[in-house]
């Protein structure tokens, strides 16, 4: 059963039916505009919420970028200390500090990744050199100068890598 009152039941007898229909169309048009405005407002709220979440997710990015050289220095210190037998206690201490710092960063979404053995990916790797390597497929990462870091899946710093190239057929 149609819940709309009939034109004859609600309209005074002296109002022409065409005017009632025009008013009904205007009402439908305004209702449609109201519903569209409501939908637009909901979309705006959702978009603002997504932007807020994105901001929070990557708010620490500049701080973490500033910490990356310190993490690199831990790697260098460990590499240098491992060459000396008498530095074993120091190596353990540096490794402990490095692990703790990396755990804290992981809790905030930082991922440290190694590129060794992977195919070269320009989105995650930055080639600093190429070497001819008959034992590796072409465009394979064969060396790593610096590890890469990502924050919640977004690359903070690409890994600095050495990439293999196929030997020339003439060589």
The pLDDT, as a whole number, for residue 169 is 52
What lies within 8 Å, CB to CB, of 171 at 6+ separation is 132
Q: What is the mean pLDDT of each run of 10 residues along the chain (171 residues)?
A: 54 76 94 95 95 86 92 91 87 92 94 94 96 92 95 94 82 42
**Token representation of residue 98:** 């490095």
The pLDDT, as a whole number, for residue 142 is 95
From residue 146, how far is each of 26, 60, 97, 128 by CA, in Å? Answer: 67, 21, 19, 10
C-alpha span between 116 and 166 (Å, rounded): 17
Sort residue 127 into left (φ over 0), alpha (ψ -120 to 50) or beta: beta
pTM given for the model: 0.67
Burial class (CB in 10 A: 0-12, 13-18, 19+), 164: buried
The label of the residue with tokens 């005017």 reads 19
Please provide residue 154's backbone torsions phi and psi, each rounded to the nearest 5 degrees: -95, 130
The pLDDT, as a whole number, for residue 85 is 83
The pLDDT, as a whole number, for residue 9 is 53
DSSP code at position 85: G
The pLDDT, as a whole number, for residue 15 is 76
The pLDDT, as a whole number, for residue 6 is 55
């Amino acid at each position: 059963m149609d819940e709309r009152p009939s034109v004859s039941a609600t309209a005074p007898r002296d109002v022409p039916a065409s005017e009632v229909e025009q008013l009904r169309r205007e009402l439908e048009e305004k209702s449609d505009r109201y519903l569209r405005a409501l939908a637009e407002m909901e979309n705006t709220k959702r978009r603002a919420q997504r932007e807020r979440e994105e901001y929070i997710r990557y708010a620490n990015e500049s701080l973490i970028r500033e910490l990356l050289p310190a993490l690199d220095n831990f790697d260098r210190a460990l590499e240098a200390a491992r060459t000396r037998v008498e530095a074993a206690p120091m190596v353990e201490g540096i490794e402990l500090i490095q692990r703790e710092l990396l755990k804290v960063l992981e809790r905030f979404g930082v991922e440290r990744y190694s590129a060794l053995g992977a195919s070269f990916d320009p989105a995650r790797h930055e080639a600093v050199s190429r070497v001819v390597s008959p034992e590796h497929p072409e465009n394979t990462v064969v060396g790593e100068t610096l590890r890469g870091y990502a924050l919640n899946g977004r690359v903070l710093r690409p890994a600095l890598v050495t990439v293999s190239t196929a030997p020339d057929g003439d060589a």
